[in-house]
């Protein structure tokens, strides 16, 4: 057991990415986390920048060659746990449609999610009994925003439905044989009379495990593209990514330790509130921003990272928050304790659609620094 060891604090997107990349570099990794992380709260795509500036570097500068390489690695990583990521071509930023019919720029997108760089006519499918489904208002908004046609169809409630069904229940139901055949039959019936060839978008509940198979079957039967648009939290897309990614990491021998980290020391060492302590050659702090719990907001408005006992900003006004709290990446231990992702100080995920960029840039930079220290 002579391999290098690493501790990752947090199992959200930054923690998972760090863990995978550390494994690739030969580290034995222990993940310390109190809860399951925020992957299940977001649709699972990586967003980069509000505008056409897809390669904005935040807060670390990467060259465009480095970005290309980073994206290549990301695509390969997702493929290893069974998710196909689609990247945009050249300077076209594709847009997905949202639960309320807006268009949102998206970047590295799992292929179950609808994305298109040109607005086009769409068929919006609603499901009666799914609370997030507001197909009338959604299609009306889409028409206004895109200037394209939006057809509306509604599927009736599935057999066995009751009013407590949320998105997870629909997804689990559609994963089963009964759900899959209900969907195929109901959708075929509902699309009768809608001009052929127009792409269909469904709420993101098409299974947790068999999504790709289900969507392919629906596309083949209906002879048109069938894909999903993301709903609210819990985001089924994020849950799919989380479940598959964690399964791979477990099989690769990663230890997921449950517990609250009380303090991080430069050694590097992590102390848990229950008295356990963990040491390793390097420690990546992927404890997140305010949403992830890495940053706490106190009653008097201070934004605090309790693990390293630092105030990183103040919450005097919401709009000012994103600019606050960036801290030096090698915060402790001469480059052996490194903060990544939102733990770098980004207060809030995706206010500016740049969470993906921040993740990739900080994790890659941190890993580079780990190797530097080892030399």
Task: Find the binding residues for other proteins in span 291-320 (CB under 8 A).
Answer: 291-293, 296-301, 315-316, 318
Phi-psi region of 341 (alpha: psi -120 to 50; beta: other; left: phi over 0): left
Task: Find the binding residues for other proteins in span 328-357 (CB under 8 A).
Answer: 347-351, 353
**CB 65 → other proteins: shortest distance, Å?**
29
Give the tokens for residue 235: 């985001």
**CB 285 → other proteins: shortest distance, Å?**
17
Q: Is 184 in the site for other proteins (CB under 8 A)?
A: no
**CB 43 → other proteins: shortest distance, Å?**
6
Compare residues 78 and 165 and give the one whose CB is closer to other proteins: 165
Strand-pair partners of 155: 127
What is residue 154's three-state secondary structure? strand
Long-range pairs for 245-249: beta carbons < 8 A, 24 or more residues apart: 245/16, 245/20, 245/39, 245/81, 246/11, 246/16, 247/81, 248/80, 248/81, 249/16, 249/19, 249/20, 249/23, 249/31
Residue 153's nearest CA partner among 99, 114, 194 is 194
**CB 186 → other proteins: shortest distance, Å?**
17
Side-chain-side CA neighbours of 228 within 13 Å: the count stands at: 29
Q: Is 222 in the site for other proteins (CB under 8 A)?
A: no
- How many residues at the interface with other proteins, by CB under 8 A? 79
Compare residues 23 and 369 and give the one whose CB is closer to other proteins: 23
Question: Quick one: which of 290, 360, 361, 366 contacts other proteins (CB under 8 A)?
Answer: 290
Task: Find the binding residues for other proteins in span 189-208 (CB under 8 A).
Answer: none
Contact stretch for other proteins (CB under 8 A) within 13-21, 51-59, 71-79, 130-138: 130-138
Q: Which residue has the tokens 């229940």?
A: 169
Q: Is 160 in the site for other proteins (CB under 8 A)?
A: yes
Task: Find the binding residues for other proteins in span 68-127 (CB under 8 A).
Answer: 96-100, 102-104
Compare residues 93 and 332 and give the one whose CB is closer to other proteins: 93
Compare residues 203 and 268 and give the one whose CB is closer to other proteins: 203
Question: Quick one: which of 190, 239, 282, 283 contacts other proteins (CB under 8 A)?
Answer: 239
Residue 282's nearest CA partner among 4, 3, 72 is 4
**CB 335 → other proteins: shortest distance, Å?**
27
| DSSP 8-class letter at 58 | S
Task: With residue 277 as reference, give the H or E element that holds it.
Answer: strand 277-279
Question: Quick one: which of 36, 212, 263, 306 contacts other proteins (CB under 8 A)?
Answer: 36
**CB 102 → other proteins: shortest distance, Å?**
4
**CB 233 → other proteins: shortest distance, Å?**
5
**CB-based contacts of 320: which residues, under 8 Å, 6+ apart?**
none
Compare residues 91 and 296 and give the one whose CB is closer to other proteins: 296
Compare residues 210 and 353 and give the one whose CB is closer to other proteins: 353
**CB 101 → other proteins: shortest distance, Å?**
9
219-251 b/e (C-beta count within 10 Å ≥ 16 → b): eeebebbbbbbbbeebbbbbbbbbebbbebbee
């Amino acid at each position: 057991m002579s391999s290098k060891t690493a501790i990752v604090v947090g199992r959200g997107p930054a923690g998972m990415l760090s863990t995978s990349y550390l494994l690739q570099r030969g580290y034995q990794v222990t993940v310390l986390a109190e809860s399951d992380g925020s992957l299940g709260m977001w649709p699972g795509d990586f967003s980069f920048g509000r505008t056409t500036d897809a390669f904005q570097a935040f807060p670390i500068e990467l060259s465009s060659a480095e970005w290309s390489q980073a994206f290549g690695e990301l695509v390969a990583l997702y493929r290893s746990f069974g998710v196909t990521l689609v990247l945009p071509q050249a300077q076209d930023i594709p847009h997905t449609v949202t639960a309320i019919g807006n268009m949102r720029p998206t970047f590295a997108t799992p292929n179950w999610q609808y994305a298109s760089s040109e607005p086009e006519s769409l068929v919006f499918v609603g499901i009666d009994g799914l609370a997030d489904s507001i197909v009338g208002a959604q299609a009306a908004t889409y028409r206004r925003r895109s200037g394209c046609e939006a057809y509306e169809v509604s599927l009736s409630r599935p057999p066995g439905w009751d009013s407590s069904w949320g998105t997870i229940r629909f997804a689990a139901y559609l994963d089963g044989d009964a759900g899959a055949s209900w969907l195929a039959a109901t959708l075929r019936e509902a699309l009768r009379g809608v001009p052929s060839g127009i792409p269909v978008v469904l709420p993101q509940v098409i299974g947790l495990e068999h999504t790709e198979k289900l969507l392919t079957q629906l596309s083949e039967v209906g002879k048109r593209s069938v894909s999903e648009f993301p709903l609210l939290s819990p985001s089924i897309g994020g849950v799919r990514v989380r479940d598959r990614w964690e399964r791979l990491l477990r099989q690769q021998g990663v230890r997921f330790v449950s517990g609250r980290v009380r303090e991080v020391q430069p050694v590097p060492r992590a102390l848990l509130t229950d008295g356990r302590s963990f040491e390793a050659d390097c420690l990546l702090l992927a404890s997140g921003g305010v949403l992830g719990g890495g940053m706490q907001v106190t009653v008097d408005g201070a934004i605090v990272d309790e693990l390293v006992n630092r105030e990183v900003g103040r919450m005097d006004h919401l709009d000012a928050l994103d600019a606050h709290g960036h801290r030096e990446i090698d915060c402790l231990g001469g480059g052996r304790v490194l903060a990544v992702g939102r733990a770098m100080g980004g207060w809030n995920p995706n206010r500016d659609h740049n969470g993906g960029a921040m993740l990739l840039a900080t994790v890659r930079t941190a890993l580079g620094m780990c190797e530097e220290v080892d030399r």
